[in-house]
Chains A and B, each alone.
Chain A
Amino acid sequence: MALARVYVTLKKSVFDPQGKTIHDALQSLGYRGVADVRQGKFFEVSLEGMSADEARAVTEEIARKVLANPVIESYSIEVSS
């Protein structure tokens, strides 16, 4: 069983209203050192009967087609077996 972790985040060029709101809240709590917050999504995908390479390829396809919207989001993948 391979486990793929997919991180989906808004592209750097895209304004993140939720991250901005969280950042504002942290500022009012006094966390002066927090320069920025970006909110994203995290997925754990379990894959059966695949090598790590196959699992990565399938997860790559899933991320591109479903988990992320390429207009606004980018993703990164980590696979462990």
Chain B
Amino acid sequence: MKIGVVVFPGSNCDHDTYHVLKHVCGQEARFVWHRSPDLSGLDAVVLPGGFSYGDYLRTGAIARFSPVMQAVTAFAARGGPVLGICNGFQILQEAGLLPGAMLRNRGVKFLSQPVHVRVERADTVASVGLAEGEVLTMPIAHGEGNLYLPDAELDRIEAEGRVVFRYTTRDGRLEDAANVNGSARAIAGLCNEARNVVGLMPHPERASEGALGSADGRHIFESLIRSVAHAGSSLAQAG
């Protein structure tokens, strides 16, 4: 199994993500430069965190026009698993692959701290094999993670079961204080209609080894790997 990690100018979690995929999960991984539209041979694609294009204009707004994003869009349309982490999530929103947009955190500050997220759905490429209701501890590091969608849209994605992760307390209770960035309905992660594109704000790659304080993030990558294995790589294999 081979997983691609897209590198934009300003990505800064690309090497951490590569490290976890390759050295912690034992999978083949390769970097994909943002100017390359070539995803051939890849079974899954990760858009890592960072500050692509210095967050100019809006977070992820310029990266979505990189040549690689047309390839990612086509890959996703064929059912290929795509995971966007933090800035990767923002890029997927700007590209229209995931709904919503990120406002500045409600307290305006950049937040860098561990958070707890509850798994709401275990039927997406980034959560298969997890238990619904399970709570994962991972760090966030963002200034714009305050998810916004109009109420009618929120109702629709909730009805479609597309909220994958929610900010909660350590024991899985919804509390305003646990929703640190003020996201609508405490949403920390979402998926597309086909459930093969998932975005989340916390950084699983920074919490995939015990020495880092939490290894919960590893489950996200293991889910991605499991979903490729289940689907059979023929479906996801980029042509």
Chain A residues with a Cβ under 8 A of chain B: 10, 13-18, 21, 66-67, 69, 71-72
Contacts and interface: CB of A to CB of B under 8 A. Distances in A.
In this complex, the member of B100, B146, B148, B182 whose beta carbon has the largest number of chain A beta carbons within 10 angstroms is B148
Contact of B101 (A16, A17, A18, A71): A71
Interface string B95-108: 00001110111111
Contact of B108 (A10, A14, A17, A67): A17
In this complex, the member of B57, B65, B100 whose beta carbon has the largest number of chain A beta carbons within 10 angstroms is B57
Contact of B103 (A14, A21, A66, A67): A14
Contacts of B100: 71
Contacts of A21: 108
Contacts of B58: 69
A43 B1 CA distance: 46
Interface string B221-238: 000000000000000000
B57 A67 contact: yes
B80 to A, nearest CB: 25
B61 A17 contact: no
6 contacts: A14-B148, A17-B107, A66-B65, A69-B58, A69-B94, A71-B93
Contacts of A10: 103
Interface of B: 57-58, 61, 65, 93-94, 99-101, 103-108, 146, 148-150, 182
Given A17-B103, A71-B93, 18 more contacts: A10-B103, A14-B103, A14-B148, A15-B103, A15-B106, A16-B103, A17-B104, A17-B105, A18-B104, A18-B108, A66-B61, A66-B65, A67-B57, A69-B61, A71-B99, A71-B100, A72-B101, A72-B148
Nearest to A69: B101
Contacts of A72: 101, 103, 148
A21 B150 CA distance: 23
Contacts, number: 36
Contacts of A17: 103-108, 146, 182
Given A17-B103, A17-B108, A66 B57 contact: yes
B56 to A, nearest CB: 11
A14 B153 CA distance: 14
A42 to B, nearest CB: 13
A74 to B, nearest CB: 13
Nearest to B65: A66
A21 B104 CA distance: 11
Contacts of A14: 103, 148
A10 B108 CA distance: 15
A3 B59 CA distance: 26
A14 B58 CA distance: 16
A15 B103 CA distance: 8
Nearest to A14: B148
Contacts of B94: 69
